[in-house]
Each structure stands twice: as C-alpha cells, then as structure tokens.
C-alpha cells in the first residue's frame, strides 16, 4: 500500500487554540483509494521546522499533503518552505493574481496587505482553484512522489482536496462495511457472535468501542464475503444495530419516518434531540416541533403532565415520560413522539435515582403504543445528555421497524 503523510500547519493548531479536523477527513478519503496515512504531523508556522519536516516526510511517504499556512500574512510560510525543500522557485502568476483580486473585492471592503503572496506558485505546480476563498491549492510532482498543498479552513480545504484527487493515481479500493451497535458491550458482542464473525477467515474484523456511541464493528475484505457477514449480523442483532457505515441514527430515523410526522418532549436533553434532527436538510417533511420542558411547571402547564404523577413518581419516572410522549404527540399533532426525562448531573442525584438515571419513551399514536425504557448512563453531564439523545432516536427507530 502507498504511504501518505499529512502535515497540518499553523501556530493556532500547536498552541491548542483550534483542533485539526482536516487530517481525519483527508486520511479517511486516502484510505479509500489505497493510501495508508503513516503520520499526521501538526507543525507551527516556522520555516526551519517546516523545511526539516517536509524533507523527512518526503523520505518516508509517497504522498505528502499539507494544510494551512497559505494566508497572506508574514506568518504563512508553507509555500516558501516547500519551495525551499524541493529546490523549485516561487513564480508570480499574474492571471491567478487578477482572479484573487476580483474575489477579494467581492468579499472585503478593503484589500488585505500582501494579498499578492497568494499568487505565488511553486515552479511546475498545477494550480487548483479555490471555490470558497482566495488561496488556491497546488499539486507538485517530485520524481515519483507527489505533494498536495491545501489551505487550512475546512470549508476551503475540502473542495480543493476533492478536486486534487483526480490527479492522483488510484490503487485497489478496500471494501469495508461498518456496523454501529448500541446497548451491548464489546466483550458480549464478540462472544455471542464469534461463530459468525470468525467463520469468515478472510474478512478482517476490527472493533471500536466509544463511551458515547457504542461499539462499532468494521469488516474489511472481499465485497461478497463482507456483505454476507453484515447481512447475517443485521438479522441477529436488529435491536442493537442502529446504523451502517457513515449513516447517523438521525438519518436512519428520518428515512424510516417518510410520510409520517414526529415531535419531541425533552427535559434533561434540553433541545439536543431536536437540534440533532434539524441538522438534516429537508427535515420539515417529518419534524413538526418540540417542547423543551425543563422545569416541572412547564411539564405540567404546557405538556399537561398530571401534578399527581410528578408528586407520586417524580419527573424522572416511567409514568412521567409516558404522559409527556403522548401529550406532545397530541399537542403538536404528530404520528410519533419521543419523551426524555433524566438526571444529567452533576447534582440532583439521589440514592434511588443516581446521576445518569434516564427514562425514555417512544410513542405511536395510531395504536396507542408505548416503548419505554430506563437507562443508567455513566459519564459527565455532556456524555449523559449525548447518550440520552442517541438512545431516544434508537427507541424511535425500533417502533418504526
């Protein structure tokens, strides 16, 4: 397999001001076309360090990708560093300069100092236009090796990187399928299904366990065999498998809801379920709205939860989430509804209901059907709320099956 190295360049990255999300995106795409990323190096805007790292990386990898350091300021040194390392001069490109100037006039009230820096191209490099910002990408062939130079902002990096892939040699694609599961520990999952999993000797199996989103199984190998094993597991594990590959559970639920409508009643999640759902374009086809009933008064007044229910069982109870789910489905007039009430912490826990106790109810109005479950989630406030949202979608998915 061909080797790639990614250099993520910028003081703001090494100083911990922002997180490099580009490299994850790039290495994932590269793997699909047969390049294995052997290192991702985050580096400061420092000419000496950059030259040394670029030189080292070109020794180790077939493909070098840099992101960042293409801005107009004196700090931005990626072009200079690559030019110096490979011994090819920077050449001012007038046509490029004019197109940059045109964009600048559109975006800004005044022209930034030194903007002409972005029109300098390494001798022999192919220019890849930036459809979003001003700094173009560049691709350089050095003997048998290639260098792809990309800007740092993800919105600019992505389209240029996609375009640059056209100029890369493609290798055998790896066939991979992923299964995402919830509510079943890794050890039990593997133990229970090892007969299936290990029957396919040529299929490589990797597991990835996450505190929040459950255990993911990745199968790599011949398409036919991988598809077989995934099909078998889907049948056996339908309550636990909530999505395949890059799908999110929100998207799975959205598709299953086609032609129907849904609403949410949220307490401890505080709008998180709705916010995740609304991130899907076109969601208005199925989503009508939600009531974030954070205080008990709102639960009683807006959602009509019986005062006695809360007094007798508490707001974090089976009875309360069942009333919340049914009421919101009638109030917002939807076919389905999900309600969540729990203790996200750090305070508010008791011996009977410790922090992490969450009740979730999915409701189908047509046949007055409730699916209600109690969860104990470990983790901090953020993790408990994330897990609650994920499992709320999973309960909804199950009554939609």
Q: Give me the least distance between CB of 202 and its own copies, in Å please.
A: 20
Rounded CA-CA distance 114/30 in Å is 34
Nearest to 145 by CA among 34, 31, 49, 2: 2
Where does this chain touch its own copies (CB under 8 A) — which range of 30-38, 95-103, 136-144, 228-236?
30-38
Residue 293's nearest CA partner among 355, 357, 339 is: 339
CA torsion through residues 11, 16, 17, 21, sign:
positive
Omega before 237 within 30 of 0, i.e. cis: no
How far apart CA 246 and CA 299 sit, in angstroms, is: 36
| Cβ at position 50, least distance to its own copies in Å | 10
CA 204 to chain centre: 24
By CB under 8 A, residue 39 contacts its own copies: yes
Q: How many CB atoms lie under 10 A from the CB of residue 134?
A: 23
- Residue 248 interacting with its own copies (CB under 8 A): no
CB of 295 to its own copies, least distance (A): 5
Asked if 159 is part of the footprint of its own copies (rule: CB under 8 A), the reply reads no
Site string for its own copies, 325-344 (x = CB under 8 A): ------xxx----------x
Structure tokens, 132: 């979003």
Out of 259, 282, 352, 366, point to the residue binding its own copies (CB under 8 A): 282
Whole-angstrom distance, CA of residue 205 vs CA of residue 178: 10
Residues in contact with its own copies, shown as a per-residue x/- string from 202 to 231 under the rule CB under 8 A = ------x--x--------------------
- Work out which of 2, 288, 365, 374 binds its own copies, going by CB under 8 A: 288
Closest separation in Å from C-beta 278 to its own copies: 3
Residue 125 vs 344, nearer CB to its own copies: 344
DSSP for 166-179, written as a single string: GGSPP-PPPPEEEE
Nearer to its own copies by C-beta: 263 or 309? 263
Closest CB 184 distance from its own copies, rounded Å = 12
- The closest alpha carbon to 253, from 391, 360, 394, belongs to 394
**Closest approach of its own copies to the CB of residue 145, in Å:** 18
Smallest distance, its own copies to C-beta of residue 254, A:
13
Nearest to 216 by CA among 245, 188, 257, 196: 245
Interacting stretch for its own copies, rule CB under 8 A, among 35-43, 193-201, 310-318, 359-367?
35-43
What span, in angstroms and rounded, lies between the C-alpha atoms of 107 and 110?
9
- CB-CB neighbours of 61 under 10 Å: 22
Residue with Cβ nearer its own copies (288 or 318): 288
20 binds its own copies (CB under 8 A): yes
Query: Which tokens go with 268?
Result: 């401890």
Binding segment (CB under 8 A) for its own copies, from list 121-129, 245-253, 294-302, 307-315: 294-302
Q: How far is the CB of 11 from its own copies (least distance, A)?
A: 8
Between residues 121 and 337, which has the closer beta carbon with respect to its own copies? Answer: 337
250 binds its own copies (CB under 8 A): no
292 lies in the site for its own copies, by CB under 8 A: yes
From CA 5, how far away is CA 147, in angstroms rounded? 10
CB nearer to its own copies: give 113 or 223.
113
Helix (H) / strand (E) element for 262: namely strand 262-266
Q: Which two tokens stand for residue 70?
A: 């293409």
Distance separating alpha carbons of residues 274 and 283, to the nearest angstrom: 10
Site for its own copies in 108-137 (CB under 8 A): 108-110, 112
The minimum distance between CB 242 and its own copies, in angstroms, equals: 18
- Which residue of 74, 162, 173, 185 would you call a contact of its own copies, by CB under 8 A? 185
Euclidean distance between CA atoms 156 and 346, whole angstroms: 40
Residues in region 83-112 near its own copies by CB under 8 A: 108-110, 112
């Amino acid at each position: 397999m061909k080797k790639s190295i990614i250099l993520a360049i910028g003081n703001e990255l090494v100083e911990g001001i922002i997180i490099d999300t580009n490299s994850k995106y790039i290495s994932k795409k590269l793997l699909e076309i047969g390049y294995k990323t052997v290192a991702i190096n985050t580096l400061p805007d420092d000419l000496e360090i950059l030259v040394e790292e670029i030189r080292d990386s070109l020794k180790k990898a077939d493909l070098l990708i840099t992101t960042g350091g293409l801005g107009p300021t004196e700090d931005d040194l990626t072009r200079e560093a690559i030019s110096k390392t490979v011994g090819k001069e920077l050449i001012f490109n007038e046509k490029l300069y004019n197109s940059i100037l045109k964009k600048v006039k559109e975006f800004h009230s005044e022209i930034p100092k030194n903007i002409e820096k972005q029109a300098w191209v390494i001798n022999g490099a192919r220019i890849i236009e930036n459809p979003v910002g001003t700094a173009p990408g560049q691709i350089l062939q050095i003997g048998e090796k290639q260098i792809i130079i990309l800007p740092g902002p993800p919105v600019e990096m992505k389209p240029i990187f996609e375009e640059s892939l056209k100029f890369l040699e493609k290798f055998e694609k790896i066939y991979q399928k992923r299964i995402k599961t919830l509510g079943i520990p890794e050890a039990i999952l593997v133990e229970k299904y090892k007969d299936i999993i290990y029957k396919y000797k040529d299929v490589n199996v990797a597991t990835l366990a996450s505190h929040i989103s459950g255990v993911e199984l990745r199968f790599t190998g011949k398409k036919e065999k991988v598809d077989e094993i995934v099909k078998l597991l889907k049948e056996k594990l339908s309550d636990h498998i909530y999505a395949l590959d890059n799908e999110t559970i929100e998207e799975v639920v959205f598709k299953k809801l086609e032609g129907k409508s849904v609403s949410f009643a949220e307490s401890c999640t505080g709008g998180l379920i709705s916010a995740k759902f609304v991130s899907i374009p076109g969601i208005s086809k199925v989503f009508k709205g939600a009531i974030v009933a954070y205080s008990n008064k709102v639960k009683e007044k807006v959602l009509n939860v019986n005062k006695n229910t809360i007094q007798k069982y508490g707001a974090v109870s089976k009875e309360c989430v069942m009333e919340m789910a049914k009421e919101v489905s009638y109030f917002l007039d939807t076919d389905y509804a999900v309600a969540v009430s729990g203790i996200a912490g750090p305070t508010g826990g008791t011996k009977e209901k410790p922090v992490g106790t969450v009740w979730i109810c999915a409701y189908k109005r047509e046949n007055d059907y409730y699916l209600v479950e109690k969860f104990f989630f470990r983790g901090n406030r953020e993790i408990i709320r994330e897990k609650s949202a994920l499992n709320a979608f999973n309960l909804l998915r199950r009554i939609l099956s």
